[in-house]
Amino acid sequence: MFEKILIANRGETALRIHRACREMGIHTVAVHSEADSDAMHVRLADESVCIGPPPAHASYLNIPAILTAAIMTHADAIHPGIGFLAENARFAEMVEEHNITFIGPSAEHIRLMGDKAQARSAAIKAGLNVIPGSEVLPHNDQQCRKIAKDIGYPVIIKASGGGGGKGMKIVHDDKTLKEMIPLARSEAEKFFKNPDIYLEKYLNPTRHLEVQILCDKHGNVVHLHERDCSMQRSHQKVIEETPSPALNQETREKLCAAAAQLAEKIGYVSLGTVEFLYSNGKFYFIEMNTRLQVEHTITEMTTGLDLVREQILIAAGKPFEKKQDDIIAYGHAIECRINAEDPQTFTPCPGTIDDYHAPGGLDVRVDSALYAGYTMPPWYDSLIAKLIVHGKTRNECLMRLRRALEEFVIDGIKSTIPLHQKIITQSDFIDATYHTAWLEQFLKDHEI
Amino acid sequence: MSKDKPASINSEHVRILAQLLQETDLSEIEYETESLRIRVAKKTHVVTSSAAVASLPPPASAKTPDAPESPPDGTVIKAPLVGTVYRAPEPGAPPFINEGDTVKKGDTLLIIEAMKTMNPVRAPASGTITAILVTDGAPIEYGEQLVIMTP
């Protein structure tokens, strides 16, 4: 087992990992930028090393500085946390080259899943559904019509060289397809200097579902059930819950089995999350995250497992003790991501926390690195706290969430607590009929 | 405690309880009737009910900072990267600088080793070395004070 783990992260993520380490009797090394000298993860760690100036590229993404800190402090493993270097295959490789254990999957798996096209073909090979789509469209109307018909309308035209929604066109019939193809080509040329376009089935409304998987070095592969992350704004998750209220038991089992099947087929080791879009009773693989997720907490609440602890044990070569049938998800759990942002405009609001009071009570968990008097630096992610509640039923969970949000005090800066309070009173949330586009529409129609 | 009037202390009760406490090796015994409550305890801190609010731990550090309380005047040269500092080009060689030396702009003052590469720390201007704040072979953090020099 490891004696000392260097945590290459900051904020509540670093704290989360620190907590697992301390409970396992492992010493921790915090690395930090000059802007984070007073941060909670630095205060609580056994040792700390300042690795660079405030900008992330010079500190938390500075591979040589982090490796030097690990060597200097004699850390025998590095936990990359979430974000920053967590999905950097080169970093994982360099850590191992220095005889330090990377707490995560192999560089090879990070690389495979980091490449969208490769990840898609790996999923197809493993027998998973992917969103039906075409190769680059030919310059022939009749052939394009045939391709669209095979996929099935509605379809979406996407730029091969693009992303971020630019140049995308939703098409419902042959006539519009003929009109839109030349337009999409010229936009693709303009935005991405590449006129190539392709078709994909347009799914609407969709829910964003994901399955937590856990694989050890001894061939044990299990799933820890699904999470529903459909409450999103600008592709950022806002609220997550488990189990998904959108699934029946049969589909749930198929979804979870598909995720485990992919992990098994590619020989994956460590924690991972397989993400799907779910629409009209069908689910489609979209990507796999080869790391810990922000919302792992709700899975911990229902399964009673400490995922970071398990991740560390796996990296140390220990076999996972439980079999699939021993993993029982109990009750319902919801996480609210609380950001230091204006709840209406979503402008980040860094500053000094004048007062801080976290809610408590039965089945309420707050993961946060805030404290009264802490000054939030403007350089990093705006996530400041995760409020996680658990209940025997979804209804109990919602009631508990409401009262926990009422108790939460973060003064001195603006936070998205009012947004969460508003969302949870909406009938679409209470009835669980929301989907991935719901929140953005709601924000257009309502003042928070 | 009595709701109406303070009950007179029955020392016999206390004595019996104290004896019980010794015999049973308990740390605390509480005895209550309608009119009074007696609590005997071996250690006073056991019965204090208000826990002190834990203060935040101070920032941990890889080592104890030994920066002088009032650094001498002059330009402070700080570590441009995290690593191990060396005062000489190789073990046994004379150090690049000693206190009191005059240096020219661009002269090497120290070397910081990180990832097996040697990174020279050079004088930003010509001047005199007034203090060297690090020892040979010490691990240093980013931004740590290394050398103080005056023009």
The pLDDT score that the predictor gives to residue B64 is 45
Instruction: Tell me the mean pLDDT in the region A210-222.
Output: 98
Token digits for A54? Answer: 């405030």
Q: What's the predicted TM-score (pTM) here?
A: 0.83
Is A49 an interface residue toward B (CB < 8 Å)?
A: yes
b/e map of A37-71 (b: 16 or more CB within 10 Å)? bebbbbbbbbbbbbbbbeebebbbbbebbbbbbbb
pLDDT over 90 at B43, yes or no = no
In a domain, B67, yes or no: no
Question: Of the candidates A52, A73, A371, which has its C-beta nearest B62's C-beta?
Answer: A73
Indicate the CATH number of A207-445 among 2.60.40.1080, 3.40.190.170, 1.10.540.10, 3.30.470.20.
3.30.470.20
Marked catalytic residue, from A10, A291, A365, A400 = A291
B29 with B83, same domain: the answer is no
CA distance A428 to A415: 23
The pLDDT score that the predictor gives to residue B10 is 66
B35 with B98, same domain: the answer is no
Instruction: Tell me the mean pLDDT in the region A408-427.
Output: 97
In a domain, B68, yes or no: no
pLDDT over 70 at B59, yes or no = no
Half-sphere exposure of A120 (CA within 13 A, CB side): 10
CATH dotted code for A132-201:
3.30.1490.20
Residue A67: strand pairing partners: none
Instruction: Tell me the mean pLDDT in the region A213-233.
Output: 97
Instruction: Tell me the mean pLDDT in the region A397-424.
Output: 97
A-contacting residues in B 102-131 (Cβ below 8 Å): 114-115
In a domain, B93, yes or no: yes
| Length, in residues, of chain B | 151
- Give contacts of B144 with chain A, Cβ < 8 Å: 50
pLDDT over 60 at A197, yes or no = yes
Q: Containing domain of residue B32, as a range? A: 11-41
Q: Where are the alpha helices (DSSP H) in A167-230?
A: 174-192
**Whether A30 contacts A14, CB under 8 Å:** yes
Q: Measure B137 CA to nearest chain A CA, in Å.
A: 11
Record: contact B83-A34, CB cut-off 8 A: no
Q: Tell me, what CATH number does B146's domain have?
A: 2.40.50.100
Is B82 an interface residue toward A (CB < 8 Å)?
A: yes
pLDDT over 50 at B65, yes or no = no
pLDDT over 90 at A160, yes or no = no
pLDDT over 80 at B19, yes or no = no
Is A22 an interface residue toward B (CB < 8 Å)?
A: no
Token digits for A235? Answer: 């592709």
The pLDDT score that the predictor gives to residue B58 is 56
Instruction: Give the total number of structural domains in chain B.
Output: 2
Record: contact A68-B82, CB cut-off 8 A: yes
Instruction: Tell me the mean pLDDT in the region B24-29.
Output: 69
The pLDDT score that the predictor gives to residue B34 is 66
In a domain, B25, yes or no: yes
B135 with B90, same domain: the answer is yes
If one compares A221 and A204, the residue with the highest pLDDT of the two is: A221
Residue from B61, B82, B86, B111 to probe the interface with A (highest A Cβ count within 10 Å) = B82
CA A300 to chain centre: 15
pLDDT over 80 at A10, yes or no = yes
- Give contacts of A38 with chain B, Cβ < 8 Å: 59
Indicate the helix (H) or strand (E) that contains A212.
strand A207-215
Of A70-74, A123-127, B8-12, B14-18, which range is least confident? B8-12
Enumerate residues 6+ apart whose C-beta is below 8 A from A184: A157, A159, A167, A169, A197
In the structure, what pLDDT confidence band is assigned to residue B60 with cuts at 50, 70 and 90?
A: low
B144 with B84, same domain: the answer is yes
Look at the alpha carbons of A75, A77, A82, A83 in this order and tell me if their dihedral is positive or negative: positive
Residue type, position B22, single letter = Q
The pLDDT score that the predictor gives to residue B20 is 74
Going across the sheet that includes A270-279, the strands are: A282-289, A270-279, A207-215, A221-233, A236-242, A332-339, A383-391, A364-368
pLDDT, tens digit, for every residue of B89-104? 988 999 999 999 999 9
In a domain, B117, yes or no: yes
Is A4 an interface residue toward B (CB < 8 Å)?
A: no
In a domain, B20, yes or no: yes
B146 with B104, same domain: the answer is yes
CA distance B46 to B38: 15
The pLDDT score that the predictor gives to residue B23 is 72
Verify whether residue A403 is a known catalytic residue: no
Compute and round to an integer the Cα radius of gyration of chain B. Answer: 33
Enumerate residues 6+ apart whose C-beta is below 8 A from A29: A4, A5, A6, A7, A45, A46, A47, A48, A49, A69, A70, A73, A75, B62
B81 with B37, same domain: the answer is no
In a domain, B56, yes or no: no
In a domain, B110, yes or no: yes
In the block, tokens 């150090």 appear at B95
Indicate the CATH number of A4-103 among 3.40.50.10540, 3.90.1310.10, 3.40.50.20, 3.40.50.1000.
3.40.50.20
Record: contact A371-B81, CB cut-off 8 A: no
Break chain A into its structural domains and give their ranges: 4-103, 132-201, 207-445
In the structure, what pLDDT confidence band is assigned to residue B53 with cuts at 50, 70 and 90?
A: very low
In the structure, what pLDDT confidence band is assigned to residue B73 with cuts at 50, 70 and 90?
A: confident
